[in-house]
Structure 1
């Protein structure tokens, strides 16, 4: 049996279930799981809390100046079975998942200085392999030499429906059309930003889960992971 640890990079559009599959894999393999998108959401929440960003303004330079004071960490919650995000020592796991944060996160993530700081942190976490990380540029920028790269996609309508149900179940009052608009706007911004745009790595395996159950997807990806471990 091959016990060698590998690095797994999972990229893709918003609301494709990247985090769900990454958490499952990390738990099964005993690997570290890192939700890179949550890190960008935490910086976005910080910007919102300090009035650096709003509907009509974005104080980019002020945010850049404050980056050294932003501490993001992941603390494992045994009851939930995954690590929650902490911003400067405060649990913000629920706060960063709102539609309001989703509306600003692509703008914040497009700032080169923000990306550089978080990419440096992400690379440090994955230095010793044994990591599953999901995001937008993991296979292309953060870990270009990852042992397994996956690119997860689904139709915008399917993703909006999933996100809408998730928010409603959480108790948020949202409109489906607003969620769909947010998904479409984020797709455009993520794919067209100048710094580290969302693109499929040349050696990534594409998974379209529009018509897959979570179980079907996990079975397919588990098989790919096992093959990658054997190759390592």
Structure 2
């Protein structure tokens, strides 16, 4: 079983997906972490982020492993769970994720990871590209001001030194990149259930999703 969740940054999809996976007793996969891992590797090796051919090579040689029980991701044995959440990754990831050749390799990798197992998978193109035939498909969204507030609060909690203005600029840039990307742009699939999380708590969103899942499974 695949539960696919898409949505823009700050829509609550990561927190919701994690909690939903716990409630369902299945695994959770953050596909954005895979793009972050590649971005981390590219920056570490001083690769030009405009060089699609070199990024394609890096993507093809990416060796990732996961400790799903602890929410850890490893790159060639190195724990990069926290390192891929640094602001430099936030600012650079769009350049990596927009490359069609890179996306094709990483989409294949995401499918291989989930092969034969039950997952809640979240990202930007999960319902449209990665798992278009997923049993359950959701698109989470929220007003920009609320998404900005959530994102800034998250960074403050992680003790990242950044201003609200910088977070707003980054969020607008990421939204633009996600929507205008030629390969796998962020958009709602026709059969995905749209959830506006603006005025909902995480628990309320999770309960909504569980309600849809249980209702469909009873049919």
Give the TM-score category using the shorter length.
Answer: over 0.9
The answer on whether the counterparts of 2:13 and 2:140 sit within 8 Å (CA) in structure 1 is yes
Label 1:126 to 1:70 Cα distance change in 2 as closer, same or farther (>3 A).
closer
Of the candidates 206, 226, 231, which is equivalent to residue 194 of structure 2? 206
TM-score using structure 2 length = 0.94
Q: Aligned pair 1:32/2:27, yes or no?
A: yes
Contact 2:7 2:141 in 1 (8 A): yes
Alpha-carbon RMSD across the aligned residues, in angstroms, is 1.5
In structure 1, the gaps of 5 or more residues are 1-5
Output the CA distance in 2 between the equivalents of 1:17 and 1:89: 29
1:227 to 191, 194, 215: 215
Match of 1:59 in 2: 51
> Which of 109, 114, 137 is matched with 2:102 structurally?
114
Structure 1 residue 208 displacement after superposition: 0.9
8 Å CA contact retained: 1:8, 1:146: yes
Contact (CA 8 Å) 2:3, 2:119: kept in 1 or not?
yes
The alpha-carbon deviation at position 129 of structure 1 amounts to 4.6
TM-score, with length taken from structure 1: 0.89
From 76, 79, 82, give the equivalent of 1:88. 76
* Correspondence list, 1:107-186, <5 A: 107-186=95-174
Count of matched residue positions in the alignment of Structure 1 and Structure 2: 219
Aligned equivalent of 2:61: 69
For 1:91 and 1:156, locate their aligned partners in 2 and report how far apart those are by CA, in whole Å: 33
Structure 1 segments, 4+ long, off by >4 Å, are none
Distance 1:71 1:160 in 2: 33
The one of 27, 35, 44 aligned to 2:39: 44
Q: Could you tell me how far apart the structure 2 residues matched to 1:103 and 1:200 are?
A: 24
- Compute the displacement of 1:89 (Å): 1.1
Q: Is the CA contact (8 Å cut-off) linking 1:36 and 1:133 kept in structure 2?
A: yes
Structure 2 runs not aligned, ≥5 long? none
1:52 and 1:156 map into 2 onto residues whose CA distance is 33
Alpha-carbon deviation of 1:127?
2.6
The residue matched to 2:106 in structure 1 has which SS? helix
Q: Give the whole-Å Cα distance in 2 for the aligned partners of 1:76 and 1:202.
A: 30
Deviation at 1:87, TM superposition (A): 1.4
